[in-house]
Amino acid sequence: MDRQELAAFLRSRRERISSADVGLPAGRRRRTPGLRREEVAQLAYISTEYYTRLEQGRAPRPSREVLAALTRALRLSDAERVHLHHLAGAPPGPPPGPCREVHRNVLDLLDRLPQAAVTVLSATYEVIAWNDLAAALMTDFSALAPRDRNLVRYAFLNGPRPPVLAEADRAAFAHEAARRLRAAAARYPDSPEVAELVSELQEGSAQFARLWASHDVSPGPSLRKTLHHRLVGPIPLNCHALEIADRDQQVVIYTADPGSPAEEALRLVSVIGTQRMDTPG
């Protein structure tokens, strides 16, 4: 255990986080950047005295439970989590589960692409962030419970109000999703969330059970998909997925060819928004 390096690393990670980042009130005027020690302790559910001793290089080796709590409280990336464990003299195991925290610069990207429908997916295909056009094109994700925002659960178990793929694209998505989920299960062997999702899909979908039994983990490219909007109809779109390696997430971007009917359709979808014009007001 390198107490001094661990102390310096904890201070540097604490000072980069604002109270607003973690939903805490700004409170009285702050003399130093970032969170206070007692706030980190509060977020990690450990005593302020113990956390202070960690930052002063005077504490005994923290347990894996404490390291996991500090990882969450300080919003560490996977690389930072591994570094924290090594500094503490406790080589890390696999990540405890898929990350749902989205980089701030990725959230900024969503807002900067108003003519594209953009979503961020976790390793288990849960939609964890989206922009306005994605909500208008697919569904109002904010109106759904978190478990109902999972595209794999919808694809195999027919969940509520999903993005609707054209028939020709559904089989390809099912294969891709099953492959990626199997790879995720290997990366998170101790995650109850992943295990429960896989079990639910195996029991509820014969199609998923067949795909799962194939042990395929090599997803193919999906460069073109057709989404069916409830009022505008089918819209053929370019589909690009960008990997966010340190969070094990995908940024999925749907765009239309310039000057195409699909581009006009996306503009109409943007105007319609998430309002339900097909139901009585």
Residue 29 — very low, low, confident or very high, per pLDDT cuts 50/70/90? low
pLDDT tens column, 101-129: 888 889 999 989 989 999 999 999 999 99
In a domain, 70, yes or no: yes
Say if residue 281's pLDDT is above 60.
no
Whether 187 is covered by a domain: the verdict is: no
**Same structural domain for residues 128 and 78?**
no
Tokens read off for 22: 């973690």
Confidence class for position 278, pLDDT limits 50, 70, 90 = very low
- Residue 162's pLDDT is 52
Which whole number is the average pLDDT over 40-45?
A: 87
Q: Are residues 259 and 123 in the same domain?
A: yes
Closest to 101 measured CA to CA, from 82, 79, 80, 76: 76
One-letter identity of residue 171? A
Please give the tally of structural domains in the chain: 2
Task: For the chain, give the number of residues.
Answer: 281
Same domain, 144 and 245: yes
Within a domain: 26: yes
Q: Are 120 and 75 found together in one domain? A: no
- Residue 254's φ and ψ, nearest 5 degrees, are -105, 125
Tell me, yes or no, whether 214 lies in a domain: no
Which pLDDT belongs to residue 28? 61
Pick the closest to residue 186 from 225, 212, 152 (CA basis).
212
Please report the pLDDT score of residue 30 as a whole number: 60
Please check whether residue 211 lies inside any domain of the structure.
no
Over residues 213-272, the pLDDT tens digits come to 988 877 666 678 888 888 898 999 999 999 998 788 999 999 999 999 999 999 999 998
What was the pLDDT predicted at 131? 93
| CB crowding 246-275: b at 16 or more within 10 Å, else e | ebbbbbbbbbbeeeeebeebbeebeebeee
**Domain carrying residue 71:** 3-88
Assess if residue 130 is contained within a domain: yes
Q: How far is residue 280's CA from residue 212's CA, in Å, rounded to a whole number?
A: 42
| Residue 160 pLDDT > 60 | no
Least confident of 17-21, 74-78, 140-144, 232-236: 17-21
Shared domain for 42 and 162, answered yes or no, is no
Query: For the whole model, what pTM was predicted?
Result: 0.69
- Are 40 and 13 in contact by the 8 Å Cβ rule? The answer is no
Confidence of residue 171 (pLDDT cuts 50, 70, 90): confident
